[in-house]
Structure 1
Amino acid sequence: MDVLKFECPDYLITISTASVNYAWDRFVRRVRSAAQTYCAYSSSRKGTLKLRDLPAGKNELVAQNDEIVPCEEWPQLWPVLFETCKYQFAVEFKQGLDISIEKQYPHVRHQLKSIGENFKFYSSSSDSGILVGDIDFLNSPGKFSFAFDYWDTDGLLHHEKMELYVASPKLDTKNDLQQIMALINQEYENYIYDYLTLTFSSFALQRSVKNNHIIWLSIFRSVVDEYFRNVRFVMSRPNNKPVRKTYHARPERIRRWSQREEERYRNMGQDAEMHYFRYEQTENTINTRENRFVKYTLHVLGKKFREVFSELGALPNVMDAEERQLLEDYQRQFKRLETSPFFQKVGEFEGFRQESAILQQRMGYSKIYKAWLMLKNSLELIDGKTDIGMKQIWELYEIWCFLVMKRLIAKVLGLDLQKPNNYVREDKSKMLNTIVKSEMTHVIEFDNVKNGDKVCLEYQHTYNRRTKEFSTTTTEQRPDIVVTIKKKDGFVLTYLYDAKYRVQDDARDGELDEGVSIDVADYPLPDAINQMHRYRDAIYYSMKTEVRPSAKEIIGGYILFPGRVVGDEIYGRYFYQSIRKVNIGAFPLLPAAKENEDDIIQCDLLERHLREILLEDSVYEHVKDSIPQKGLVYDTENVFVLIVDRDAYDDYEHNRLSMEIPLDINKGMFKIDSIDYFMFIVENASEGYYRVTNSRLRIKDDKLILALSLTDYQSFEFGFKDVAECDTKTIVSLRDLLNVR
């Protein structure tokens, strides 16, 4: 279907795709009434714009301006380009093309080499033809500049451009994405920006000391042509300063005499013609403060550009050839201007003692000064006129999920991240921020002051054959987010989270809950949830059996996806129910609405989950709802039970850390080194249990005695708790003993 047509006297642009109906429906549910005025369109040529009438649900193109009155800008319209769709672009040139040689064929102009290579020109006559190609906007919402060049029969080169907007049906790019970027920028300044991207965003400038190469280059590209033009203007019409200079010459060469030298000449008589006399004259010089400043900007900006350009050299196969040629031309212009004879006569800049009216008001100088100030600025996350590339949205979503986890963990543990303390430790210097693509890892450690646990939050932790404590014997596993809880007794609990910027688009991609429509509900992709099963199967303890803790490594695995929640419907979704059953499932995660920014996220399910795993002291409560990893058998925690009557229990000194229990040698045998806990049972109920640190048998008065060393008494929350029926002086599973319905 055709979704957009733009026509001017020289050419017709047509954009088409298979279908946008599903993407439009989801987009409307995301942004509601804002959908019809969400974006704007513009063109370098005046013409007529037609869009598919998506708001009315009609399969026809509707003109957005009168053909008699062509326009260049069309604000407040609905989007027809979505990041989940692949589009075909066609530019049909009517006539007047110069295609006598292949070098002058029309071609698409973009920073990314792959975009230009996707397009091909086909001639239909000696002066007309069509330029066609495909563009896939996957994970790249934002503004898109469709630019192309062509030569006409008069030998003129035309640079044409049409700016479009690519919307996302998964989240609101003007609200949700802005909050995601703001949170990331707050933690890791300027990390969100990127170079050589398919789409871009527009931001306003703000004064900032910190600036990175990507921001600098984006601002530089917007001012460099005018900057060079004004430097040349200054060289042709420089600001001069009159200075008085002293010379010595013979009398016939001096035009203006001072009174003193004139008297000296008369006193010398006939010999005066043989002598040199001093004279002064006023001359104009270009060695002014303002010209020294212009020379200084050339030196500083040229040096900065060479640093950035050398870093871009690491991207030879990604950058378009014309883009590289343009940057090389900038480098040559800097060198040519810096070494020009004009600036050889200008001294070094030593700063200004006071403001210069010439820099602020005079033609040429004021524009150079403005460009200098802009290149010292950073970017503000509001709509503006500076275009800059952003990292792909899936990567931003991953990092945002990690930062949300950081804030939620701190919130649950009662820690204030704004106040420096010893309970939160992280090294932000390891978060890389550069033009060159590289993997990024980060570790944050928390102290749980409520129960003494150590909590570790990791971004992109790698499990492979070389990792020391936990490993995988198969391929490398790299979950996005890992939360590790180390209990006081050394017990280790690990939870995996994978951020997936994807939702199920088709009911055929996976099974839905009964009575639920894919057009209304957001579901994670089934393969993403299955991946969490694969993680649990692949990762296990690499420690030797005899030193391995009696615990499992992966307690649970969860998907974080951009799903919206309406009412209590989420509680019935299979991906949430499965968390309770097998500890594998999914949490919807999107930024909270502006009026509820303190909540951080829209749905509190993830926060409630973190409260359960971080604040629950009993390891049993963590493990009891989780199934073992495939092919593994988890060690059972055993308790030695002693059934006593109420009077004996009340008389017992509960602060004692040792216990001697006579055994009946004729009742059989059991393995005493398997005892983990000791518990009193009174009338089929217990008030708590001790951890056993040591157990041994000895003979005393011809009786077999079990000696237990005890520590860490753990009482149940609501007093006595019913336990399963069992015999006294036996070893039973703690899980079986407490699992009483």
Structure 2
Amino acid sequence: MPSRTEALSIDTASWTLRLKTTAAPDEQLSKLARLLGRPVDDPSLQAAVEARVPGAVEISFPNRPRIFENTVYTLSVKPKSGFDVVRVGHPTLRDIEDSIDDEDGVWRGTLRTGNDIGWFPLEIVVRPNTGGPARTDRIAWQVWPLKLDFASDLKLIATDIEAVYPLWLFKFGVATEHDLGVGRGRSDRFLLMWFAQFRSRWDELERGLKVILQNPHVSLQSRSARLRAERLRGRINRKLEERIAVGGERPEIRYEATVWSSSLDTPENRFVLYVLDKCLSSLDRFRDAVDRPGLSPTFRALLDGWIRSVSAFRSDPMFHGVGTYFGLSKESLVLHNRAGYATTYRAWLELRRDLEFFASASAARLGMRSVNELYEIWCFLAIRRMLSDLGFRESERKEARWRKVGLEREMENGAGASFRFEGNDGLRLELSHEPVFGRFRSGPFHSATIPQRPDIVLEARWPASDEMPERRLLWIFDAKYRLMEDAAAGSADRDDEPMRDCDYLVPPDAIDQMHRYRDSILMRTEGSESRPVVSAFALYPGIFDQTRSPAGNPYAQGIQAVGIGAFPLLPSMNGDLWLRAYMDDALRSTSHAKTVRKRSVRIPVSGLEYPEDDVLIVYLTADRRPEYLERFREGRSELYHTYLQGGPSSARLGKVKFLVAIDVPHTDGPLRMIRGAYAIDGWNVVARSELDTAAAGSPQPRDAGAKCRILRLGRYLQLASPIPVPREPGNWFRYASLQRLFEARTFADLWSIKGE
């Protein structure tokens, strides 16, 4: 049995806590210090333990990081003489509490930190064994990352995320208990908590309350009073007139009268006061429940702002004379229809259940997301910032779509957030988080096998030009908060290159996943399919001196050879230079034509050929003008047009470099002839009506308003011997390769593929 090392010990007057592990905390700290390039005793490597316990507290290793991510610890809590430990549990995670058992008064259990870094809180309920009330001692220690700088990297990640999606940092416990029954509260990645919905309802409530304070509802109320004659107002009945006439000489006499006055003490105003009291008490209880080390300042400020707002409304003079709310005896038209009251009433109907959840926060509290989720979100935002820095203008921001599950909101698959950018040359970019490429998607991108869901996808769309059709390319990024522990972890048969001998590599399965994305995602355009993924990269927290050449990236060779690899990406200074340089070269520093004409990374399978069908073969009909046909027979043509509708697709035509026209001989017999090939210098789109007879070969177009592509023909390559082609009716086109065109003796030798 491996020996266990004590990682942490907390000694109080009531109990003693110990954490032990089979891992070596000192070695973990030394490795982290080596990765960060700092000595072990560097001031930035200072941990903290907080204990809210009465009396003296003694903590072993109080300032040294001893608890790390992805490590298993055994926990023991032993009471001191005169005390009993009633319960030991985590304030958020019920499964941790279930894993801790009481054995002869000593509580023991197993803690697995996983990827959850930051403050780890624990509650210990202790009671004197002589009797008396129990108290809850609260302690918290820091769980440190093994791959990031806790002092700077994590803070920068949280700051960047909070600037765009403040509440996405938080989530409730793994298992929560509320009025809908016990359900899984674990959120999907990149999740906006239900606080966003709560805040929108809260804003609606505040708007209604402001209207009420400006124009409150009042009612006329009567009361009996004894007044002197000069203070009587309104209509006076006859009997009272007679009594006043009799006592007219005695002004001190008071008379019984009914007095009417306006009052704010109405059932509707009592209801509003009740709403304010419930909101204030629930929010106060919730703040007390979640106020522990590690709570985000952003969330604390938001909660404090709500409480201050309620207190300000509650202290308004309008409510000074309003009584206690005991319910409504009948439906109130004021609450349903009057401005301010109707808004407040509707908002309260939706808020009250959420406030009940606030009040019972001990069963489900707010926590921070695991670091792998934070790293993924940060990588997405880092690429967004990188595109802006490269000069692309953000033109549109698409929020994720959500569905409500209990008290949480989960992101719908394939409906994640995205940002759109525009460049000066017409280039449009769309950066998407977790799009789904399924088999039956209506868009152009799909998977031919099983659905694929990469973390981050960057789509680039170049507009059509005279020399190139519109192009759409994809870059895939997958955030991997993992490092291969050592060279042996990858095994010699998977990672034995000398250049990979370093501490900062992603696990081999992460690279395998990039190959899967690149090979499985296809693009469907006008009946043809192509592979739109230029490259796929894993992003990982590797620490390198990126001020050096990008050739220092251990995956540079694979990126150059097959477009697959990984980039280290960190928020610290110069932690993104290699990826930034790659993006600059791929998107900004090169033209459209240079980008799409890069050498293909497709390497042929041994024994197979992949011919390039770079020749478009078209069939000329005998109804064209003789001089038009003569120019094609002699190799003197300069233009050829084909209709956009029914002609070659833009994607397919972009691969074509030569045009072959099957011309009509002088004697219109059973055969046609291929005499040579024209180089295509470019093409553009015009209306058919803009073409004259010389360019089109026909004075009467079949559709003058239809769009046509005009191919500009250049150098003519003549065949040594013409290739006869059987006569076929109609207009048609096919594709072939230039090499086979010059090797073929018959039309069948071209191995052509009929165009669709």
Mark yes or no: TM-score above 0.5: yes
Name the TM tier (shorter chain). 0.5 to 0.7
In the alignment, is the contact (CA less than 8 A) between 2:170 and 2:366 conserved in 1? yes
CA shift, 1:91, in A, is 0.2
Aligned pairs for 1:196-215 within 5 A: 196=173, 214=195
CA distance in 1, matches of 2:570, 2:17: 36
1:444 counterpart = 2:419: yes
CA shift, 1:528, in A, is 0.5
For each residue in 1:286-305, what CA deviation from the matched residue of structure 2 results, as whole angstroms up to 9, or x when unmatched? 99xx9999756215457989
Specify which of 464, 488, 509 is matched with residue 438 of structure 2. Answer: 464
CA shift, 1:507, in A, is 2.7
* Number of the residue aligned with 1:525: 507
Helix, strand or coil at the partner of 1:508: helix
In the alignment, is the contact (CA less than 8 A) between 2:87 and 2:126 conserved in 1? yes
The one-letter amino acid paired with 1:82 is: F
CA shift, 1:500, in A, is 0.8
1:13 counterpart = 2:17: yes
CA distance in 2, matches of 1:535, 1:279: 85
Aligned pairs for 1:321-720 within 5 A: 343-344=324-325, 389-412=367-390, 414-417=391-394, 424-428=395-399, 430=401, 435-439=408-412, 441-450=416-425, 452-468=426-442, 469-487=444-462, 488=464, 489-510=469-490, 511=495, 514=498, 518=502, 521-541=503-523, 547-548=527-528, 551-566=530-545, 568=548, 571-593=551-573, 602-614=575-587, 615-618=590-593, 623-624=598-599, 626-627=601-602, 636=612, 638=614, 662=634, 692=657, 695-699=660-664, 705-706=675-676, 708=678, 710-712=680-682
* Closer, same or farther: CA 697–162 of 1 in aligned 2, 3 Å: same
The one-letter amino acid paired with 2:662 is: L
* Closer, same or farther: CA 21–728 of 1 in aligned 2, 3 Å: farther
For each residue in 1:20-74, what CA deviation from the matched residue of structure 2 results, as whole angstroms up to 9, or x when unmatched? 234312432438323443434334233343435xxxxxxxxxxx5xxxxxxxxxx
In the alignment, is the contact (CA less than 8 A) between 2:173 and 2:366 conserved in 1? no
* Closer, same or farther: CA 571–431 of 1 in aligned 2, 3 Å: farther
* Number of the residue aligned with 2:75: 89
Aligned pairs for 1:214-233 within 5 A: 214=195
* Number of the residue aligned with 2:43: 34
The one-letter amino acid paired with 1:122 is: E
CA distance in 2, matches of 1:389, 1:395: 13
In the alignment, is the contact (CA less than 8 A) between 1:698 and 1:706 conserved in 2? no
CA distance in 2, matches of 1:573, 1:189: 33
For each residue in 1:222-255, what CA deviation from the matched residue of structure 2 results, as whole angstroms up to 9, or x when unmatched? xxxxxxxxxxxxxxxxxxxxxxx973399xxxxx
Helix, strand or coil at the partner of 2:484: coil
Helix, strand or coil at the partner of 1:343: coil
* Closer, same or farther: CA 36–43 of 1 in aligned 2, 3 Å: farther
In the alignment, is the contact (CA less than 8 A) between 2:613 and 2:656 conserved in 1? no
Helix, strand or coil at the partner of 2:142: strand
CA distance in 1, matches of 2:674, 2:409: 72
* Closer, same or farther: CA 106–501 of 1 in aligned 2, 3 Å: same
For each residue in 1:65-116, what CA deviation from the matched residue of structure 2 results, as whole angstroms up to 9, or x when unmatched? xxxxxxxxxxxx2221112312221101133356xxxxx8433242221121
* Closer, same or farther: CA 8–712 of 1 in aligned 2, 3 Å: same
For each residue in 1:193-213, what CA deviation from the matched residue of structure 2 results, as whole angstroms up to 9, or x when unmatched? 222279xxxxxxxxxxxx975
In the alignment, is the contact (CA less than 8 A) between 1:690 and 1:712 conserved in 2? no
CA distance in 2, matches of 1:629, 1:112: 53
CA distance in 2, matches of 1:51, 1:563: 32
- Structure 2: any 5+ residue segments left out of the alignment? 176-191, 200-222, 229-239, 288-318, 333-354, 356-364, 617-629, 636-646, 668-672, 685-716, 721-736, 741-756
CA distance in 2, matches of 1:133, 1:396: 28
In the alignment, is the contact (CA less than 8 A) between 1:661 and 1:707 conserved in 2? no
CA shift, 1:690, in A, is 11
* Closer, same or farther: CA 690–31 of 1 in aligned 2, 3 Å: closer
In the alignment, is the contact (CA less than 8 A) between 1:108 and 1:119 conserved in 2? yes
In the alignment, is the contact (CA less than 8 A) between 1:583 and 1:627 conserved in 2? no
Specify which of 154, 158, 162 is matched with residue 177 of structure 1. Answer: 154
In the alignment, is the contact (CA less than 8 A) between 1:286 and 1:345 conserved in 2? no
In the alignment, is the contact (CA less than 8 A) between 1:151 and 1:157 conserved in 2? yes
* Closer, same or farther: CA 711–608 of 1 in aligned 2, 3 Å: same
* Closer, same or farther: CA 604–531 of 1 in aligned 2, 3 Å: same
CA shift, 1:542, in A, is 6.0
Aligned pairs for 1:109-258 within 5 A: 109-123=90-104, 129-153=105-129, 154-196=131-173, 214=195, 247-248=225-226
CA distance in 1, matches of 2:87, 2:649: 81
CA distance in 1, matches of 2:198, 2:32: 33
The one-letter amino acid paired with 1:84 is: N
The one-letter amino acid paired with 1:93 is: P
CA distance in 2, matches of 1:577, 1:3: 42
* Number of the residue aligned with 1:230: none
CA distance in 2, matches of 1:5, 1:624: 61
The one-letter amino acid paired with 1:508 is: A
CA shift, 1:122, in A, is 0.4
In the alignment, is the contact (CA less than 8 A) between 2:586 and 2:595 conserved in 1? no
* Number of the residue aligned with 1:297: 276
CA distance in 2, matches of 1:391, 1:7: 30
The one-letter amino acid paired with 2:81 is: Q
RMSD: 5.1
Q: Percent identity?
A: 21
Helix, strand or coil at the partner of 2:22: coil
* Number of the residue aligned with 2:6: 2
CA shift, 1:480, in A, is 0.7
CA distance in 2, matches of 1:586, 1:659: 55
In the alignment, is the contact (CA less than 8 A) between 1:193 and 1:214 conserved in 2? no
For each residue in 1:695-720, what CA deviation from the matched residue of structure 2 results, as whole angstroms up to 9, or x when unmatched? 42214678965475845389xxxxxx
CA distance in 2, matches of 1:279, 1:542: 85
* Closer, same or farther: CA 147–708 of 1 in aligned 2, 3 Å: same
Question: Given the two structures, how large is their TM-score scaled by the length of structure 2?
Answer: 0.56
In the alignment, is the contact (CA less than 8 A) between 1:580 and 1:625 conserved in 2? no
* Closer, same or farther: CA 630–249 of 1 in aligned 2, 3 Å: farther
Question: Given the two structures, how large is their TM-score scaled by the length of structure 1?
Answer: 0.57
Aligned pairs for 1:313-328 within 5 A: none
* Number of the residue aligned with 2:290: none
- Structure 1: any 5+ residue segments left out of the alignment? 53-63, 65-76, 99-103, 124-128, 199-210, 219-244, 251-260, 309-337, 349-374, 376-386, 418-423, 594-600, 641-657, 664-672, 678-688, 715-726, 735-741
CA shift, 1:142, in A, is 1.0
CA shift, 1:529, in A, is 0.7
Helix, strand or coil at the partner of 1:461: coil
In the alignment, is the contact (CA less than 8 A) between 1:659 and 1:709 conserved in 2? no
In the alignment, is the contact (CA less than 8 A) between 2:661 and 2:674 conserved in 1? no
In the alignment, is the contact (CA less than 8 A) between 1:193 and 1:215 conserved in 2? no
Helix, strand or coil at the partner of 2:146: coil
CA distance in 1, matches of 2:594, 2:738: 17
CA distance in 1, matches of 2:435, 2:452: 8
CA shift, 1:470, in A, is 3.4
Helix, strand or coil at the partner of 2:78: strand
In the alignment, is the contact (CA less than 8 A) between 1:494 and 1:554 conserved in 2? yes
